[in-house]
Structure 1
Amino acid sequence: MHAAKGDHLVQHGRVVGQHDQVTEVVEVLGQGGDPPYRVRFADGREAVMSPGPDCEVRHPQDRTQQ
């Protein structure tokens, strides 16, 4: 998984009724776009995240095509 500043991480809900959680990558802490990432939640909180297999990266060009 590779991400850059401004990309969105989408963590898919794992149980029925649980919504996807979308965060914005504000800093890449790994080398070459690798995790961990500092992310910002919609409410302004920030955290360091190493995404698992239930996550996907959405690049800005991908979001404009949806």
Structure 2
Amino acid sequence: MYASKGDRLIIHGRVVGQQDHSVEIVEVLGPDGTPPFRVRAANGHETIMSPGPDCVVEHRPSSTQG
């Protein structure tokens, strides 16, 4: 799993009826874009995560358009 600052980490619900939620990656702490990541939730809470198999990275769109 690779990510950059500004990407979103989507955490899938693990039980029936549990919603997916997402957090913003504010810092990549591992080498070459690998976990762990410092993330920020919508309520402003920050924590460090090493995502498991129930998570996916949603990469931000690149700023280069041509």
The TM-score, its normalising length taken from structure 1, stands at 0.90
CA distance in 2, matches of 1:14, 1:59: 22
1:32 is paired with a residue whose SS is helix
Structure 2 unaligned residues grouped into runs of 5+: 62-66
Give the greater-gyration-radius structure (CA): 2
- State the superposition RMSD in angstroms: 1.2
- How many pairs were matched up? 62
Which residue of the partner structure matches residue 37 of structure 1?
Answer: 37
Percent sequence identity over aligned pairs: 62
The TM-score, its normalising length taken from structure 2, stands at 0.90
CA distance in 1, matches of 2:21, 2:51: 12
